[in-house]
């Protein structure tokens, strides 16, 4: 089973992506913020194969979450940044990003599928 964690504070967007992923056969776990995602990763870390990560969230942003994931939990899991605006600077570990308003669900699915080839 292909396991994906969606980390985004936008419930509607998170639900839309979850439903699409599940319809394509993916197993999906959701978190509404960075701290919740870290808590999930402490339990399921090695089962998650890809993270869809919003950068701007209350409490703990996506960059802080990813730093903690790599440096505190020592997990090296690829992530696709989901953002509402162009990203000029982002951590070098996060090589892939998507501007939410500039991509269709089908295009996002193709990008995700590329991680499972």
Counting Cα atoms < 13 Å in the Cβ hemisphere of 55 gives 19
Chain segment 36-65, per-residue pLDDT in tens? 999 999 998 889 999 999 988 888 888 899
Q: List the domain range (segments joined by +) for residue 47.
A: 3-116
* CA dihedral for 73, 96, 80, 8, sign (positive or negative): positive
pLDDT for the residue 55: 85
Q: What is the pTM of this model?
A: 0.90
What is the CATH classification number for the domain harbouring 108?
A: 3.40.50.2300
Closest Cα to residue 93, out of 111, 112, 109, 71?
71
- In degrees, rounded to 5, the angle at the alpha carbon of residue 82 between the alpha carbons of residues 76 and 86 is 115
Looking at the 3D structure of the chain, how many domains does it have?
Answer: 1
Element spanning 69, H or E: helix 62-71
């Amino acid at each position: 089973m292909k396991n994906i964690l969606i980390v985004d504070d936008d419930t509607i967007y998170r639900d839309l992506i979850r439903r699409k992923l599940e319809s394509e056969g993916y197993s999906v776990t959701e978190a509404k913020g960075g701290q919740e995602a870290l808590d999930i990763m402490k339990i399921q870390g090695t089962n998650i194969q890809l993270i869809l990560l919003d950068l701007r969230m209350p409490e703990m942003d996506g960059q802080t979450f990813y730093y903690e994931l790599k440096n505190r939990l020592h997990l090296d899991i690829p992530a696709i940044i989901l953002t509402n605006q162009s990203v000029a600077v982002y951590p070098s570990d996060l090589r892939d990003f998507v501007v939410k308003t500039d991509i269709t669900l089908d295009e996002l699915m193709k990008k995700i599928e590329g991680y499972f080839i």
